[in-house]
Structure 1
Amino acid sequence: MLVSDFGRIGFDPFLEMRCMQQELNQRLSGMTTKAAQEFPPINLWMGEDSVAVTAELPGIAPDDVDLTVRENTLTLTGERGSPAEGEKCVWHRRERVYGNFSRTVQLPFRVDPEQVEARFANGLLEVELHRPETDRPKKIQIKG
């Protein structure tokens, strides 16, 4: 934008500011810690009487992950250790985040903590959480 643009008819300084803000946001988007806050990435889908959650945990051992469930909340915590670094190590690029992580997921219904099944293979955690029998919808027969 040139200084002479201010005298131009139809010039909107607020439009110019929004364009500059959008460009700045696009340039800085890769520099946030959003990826670190959303580790591990998860998928969640619901069945009739259960909900399934998968989490990608590459390079993490099953013993380094803790799962807790309370009513309709699942919490996944753990730690991803950083690779051994020598004294003369100079990073050229470092995109993977290391350290403690925690994800809490709101589930679509209460679950029975006694009916949770978790499997871990090839860096993928699969958790199936079942709805308590007393909370399952019941079909009501209408008498005529």
Structure 2
Amino acid sequence: MFEILPWGARRELETLRREMDRLWEGFFGERRGLEPEVWAPALDLSETKDKLIVKAELPGVDPKDVDVSLTGNVLTIKGEKKEEKEEKEENYHTIERRYGSFMRSIRLPVEVEEDKIEASYKKGVLKIVLPKSEKAKPKGIKIKVE
């Protein structure tokens, strides 16, 4: 037999079913390791009149283990966050920090002067300053008054 449900109740049951499916997939997916989490640094890209600035969070990463490259207008940051090894025996209860290789690429919105790019690392943040090419800088246009 068919059961008649009010429209709102049918929607609530469907929402509940989807939420339960999501919970079960998350629980069993993590346990089986079906979808390993990939560690990648968070990036900010900002722009001024003369330059682009990229900041990447790289806490715990040795700057010697980071490589920055530019191909065309794609900036790539790659490297490795190495796991700290200690001599004493430790029994972990929770492990949330991520380790391993990473790579982030970001398409730059304008052309930059490749030979004038500067990179610095301070307090776990990599800062890359990319001067805009002369073609990319905004040009003022004078208006003739007649």
The two structures share one fold, judged by TM-score above 0.5? yes
Contact in 1 for aligned 2:81/2:101 (Cα 8 Å): yes
TM-score normalised by the chain length of structure 2 = 0.75
Q: Which residue of 1 aligns with 2:18?
A: 21
**1:1-144 alignment, distance < 5 Å:** 7-10=3-6, 13=10, 15-22=12-19, 24-25=21-22, 28=26, 36-37=38-39, 39-84=40-85, 89-144=90-145
TM-score w.r.t. structure 1 length? 0.76
| Distance in structure 2 (CA, Å) of the matches to 1:97 and 1:56 | 13
Which structure 2 residue ranges, 5 or more long, are not aligned?
none
Q: Is the 8 A contact 1:118 1:128 kept in 2?
A: yes
Q: Give, as a single letter, the amino acid of the residue that structure 2 aligns with 1:112.
A: E
Relative distance call for 1:68 and 1:14 in structure 2 (3 A) is same
Q: What percentage of aligned pairs have identical amino acids?
A: 30
Query: What RMSD, in angstroms, separates the aligned Cα atoms of the two structures?
Result: 3.1
C-alpha spacing 1:21/1:44, structure 2 compared with 1 (3 Å): same
Instruction: Output one character per residue of 1:45-64: Cα deviation in whole Å (capped at 9) or x when no partner.
Output: 11112111111111111111
Contact 1:71–1:111 (Cα < 8 Å) also in 2: no
SS in structure 2 of the partner of residue 84 of structure 1: coil
User: Is the CA contact 1:110–1:132 (under 8 Å) kept in the aligned structure 2?
Assistant: yes
Q: 1:25 to 1:48 in 2, by over 3 A?
A: farther
